[in-house]
Amino acid sequence: MANNRPQILLVANRSVHEHMLVPPDVERLQQFADFAWLECDVPFDRTDWTTVPDDPSATAKVAAHVGGVDGLIVCHGSPRISTQILDAASKLQIIGELEGDRFGARIDVEAALARGIRVTDTTNGSSYGVAEWALGMMLNAVRNSGELFRQLIAGGWRLPPNERGFERFELTGKKVGLIGLGIIGRRLVQLLQPFHCEIRAHDPYVPKEVADVLGVLLTSVDQVMADSDVIVCVAPITPKTRRMIGKRELDLVKPGAAIVNVSRGAIFDPEATIERLARGDISGAFDVWDPEPIPADSPIRQLPNVFLTPHISSQTRDGRGRFFKIMVDELDRFFHGYETFYDLGVRTMANRFGAPPPPR
């Protein structure tokens, strides 16, 4: 009898195979599919994320192994899934990017879609930890815990109220403004439910019905900056969002507010951010900065109204295997007749590269 089980191939380096594949999820995949690994070691610049070096030998190697493959998973080490590979993959139905930091550089998405191949992406495996840390950073910012910690380890105790111009406040019931309403932002909205916040967001790519379901008002960047008690950046870094928050936008922030960034440091102009925080009437909490590591002599390290962490929001024990778990979820849905959740389509790719959103 013919084997009707889907044939799934992972193309990645040894580190991915050894560290990102959690055994229970491998076993779960093997319950409905045959699973194999093809080792490739194409280098990838993790400071760029948008290009994969051309490697003819790796491309030929993958092309020689995809003839009977129904589902292809790619990650670090894989060559770009080009037309040469797609032409050799006559049975291919779905390609999954296991961890590409949003830009889908390992896949010729347009060519795959033109062939009727589904393309999905589980980069959001890190989003859960980032959303949790965004909430933690919000709480640190509104209480200005950075200054309190500095005071304590210096041998002091409690600062007099409002000594430095920023008065600590509670998060419950406040106006929260989100820059971005993707997976991180939507998860953060869920985590904020017990705080009964009024939430508004700027995200030109999010479907309005998503905002409706979440109970979030969609608005402009200026409205988020000017009318929020806590501003949280959870937007992706794209050509459109780089330096999106500069002096003009930061000058809109009202005294007594707090700003948080757990996304990418380059979205904020660092000099303008330092200048606004140095006035002392707002507080800030940043897991990311530009550049990273933060220079030792950067004034942001010394500002008393700032709480800093070294880009660790996604670095958790729980998050390490989540990318593959979500990928198995997607393959399970797809091969059992259900819709995948995390497709790389025209709207998603427009968002990731900062292009105008397509008509709704």
Q: What are the catalytic residues?
A: 264, 292, 311
Distance CA 77, CA 105 (A): 12
Long-range contacts of 326-329 (CB under 8 A, 24+ apart): 326/122, 326/124, 326/125, 327/73, 327/96, 327/98, 327/120, 327/122, 328/25, 328/28, 328/29
Whether 119 and 94 have beta carbons less than 8 Å apart is answered as yes
Distance CA 324, CA 25 (A): 7
Give the phi and the psi of residue 205 in degrees, each rounded to 5: -100, -15
The residues near 88 (Cβ < 8 Å, ≥ 6 apart) are 63, 64, 66, 67
The residues near 342 (Cβ < 8 Å, ≥ 6 apart) are 120, 121, 122, 124, 326, 330
The residues near 27 (Cβ < 8 Å, ≥ 6 apart) are none
Longest distance between any two alpha carbons in the chain, whole Å = 80
Distance CA 277, CA 245 (A): 14
Q: Which of 168, 138, 181 is nearest to 286 (CA)?
A: 138
Q: What Å distances lie between residue 240 and 235, 236, 311, 335, CA to CA?
A: 11, 10, 22, 36
Which residues share a beta bridge with 283? 258
Number of C-beta neighbours around residue 193 at 10 A:
11
Q: Which of 124, 101, 125, 126 is nearest to 44 (CA)?
A: 101
Q: Rounded to an integer, what is the distance from CA 271 to the centroid of its chain?
A: 24
Distance CA 166, CA 148 (A): 12
